[in-house]
Structure 1
Amino acid sequence: MLSWMVWTTPVAVFFAAVVVMLIGMTIWETRTPTLMRKGFLPIATTRGDRLFIGLMCAAWINLAWVGLGEKIQSWLQLAEEPSIWISAGASALVLLLIMRRG
């Protein structure tokens, strides 16, 4: 059924993290309903809005990293493409920034 997708460790970790975040946000929302607030984003957002925006940014960062991997390798004259874990860490930091300050 899922044989068309390459299930590497980073992919599995990403999807597991998304599931954990959605479960956590659901529990958090039932305990303390969210209020709209304005951060550095140009719109007033709720926690769910910020999670969605943060996940989209994380996906774009990871896609850009994968797409530019060979170019980064040649620019920095590396023996192999840089690890996907670097983009996963950058994505996590961007997501945390958006959730906290967005």
Structure 2
Amino acid sequence: MAWMAWTLPTAIFFVVIACLLITFTILAIKFPETPRVGVLRIETTRGDRLFITLLGSAFINLAWLGIVGANQPFALIVCLIYAAAVFRWV
């Protein structure tokens, strides 16, 4: 994989995404769910909420990088709070 110039943070990022997808696939097989309507007034499943969380987290990190520039681990805390809110209320 040296041709891709992977760094440790990049590898961790993709491993975490892969683990999330595997976990949510197993959850969907073991515990099927029906879509629910949240605060956005659209039907969402676990997978939809995961996608909304990942997309929103990307924007949070980009905004954090543009506004603050440093201390990116604090952006992770904001993303975790955002993820908890999405899975609770969306």
Superposition TM-score tier, normalisation by shorter sequence? 0.7 to 0.9
Distance (whole Å) between structure 2 residues aligned to residue 85 and residue 12 of structure 1: 17
Structure of larger gyration radius: 1
Taking only aligned residues, the RMSD between alpha carbons, in angstroms, comes to: 1.8
Normalized per residue, which structure has more helix? 2
Gaps spanning 5+ residues in structure 2: where?
none
Question: How many residues are aligned here?
Answer: 88
Structure 1 or 2: larger strand share? Answer: 2
Please, what TM-score do these two structures have when normalized by structure 2?
0.82
For 2:8 and 2:81, the matched residues in 1 are separated by 22
Shift of 1:49: 0.7
| Residue in 2 that maps onto 1:90 | 78
What's 1:26 paired with?
A: 25
Residue 2 of structure 1 aligns with which residue? Answer: 4
Distance 1:41 1:14 in 2: 28
1:41 and 1:13 map into 2 onto residues whose CA distance is 31
Q: Which runs of 5+ in 1 are unaligned?
A: 71-80
Calculate percent identity across the aligned residue pairs.
34
Amino acid at match of 2:85: L
- 1:61 positional shift: 0.2
User: Secondary structure of 1:19's partner?
Assistant: helix
Structure 1 stretches of 4+ moved >6 Å: none
Q: Which has the higher contact order (CA 8 A, sep 6+)?
A: 1
Please give the per-residue CA displacement for 1:53-84, whole angstroms capped at 9, x wherever unaligned. Answer: 111001100011111124xxxxxxxxxx3x11
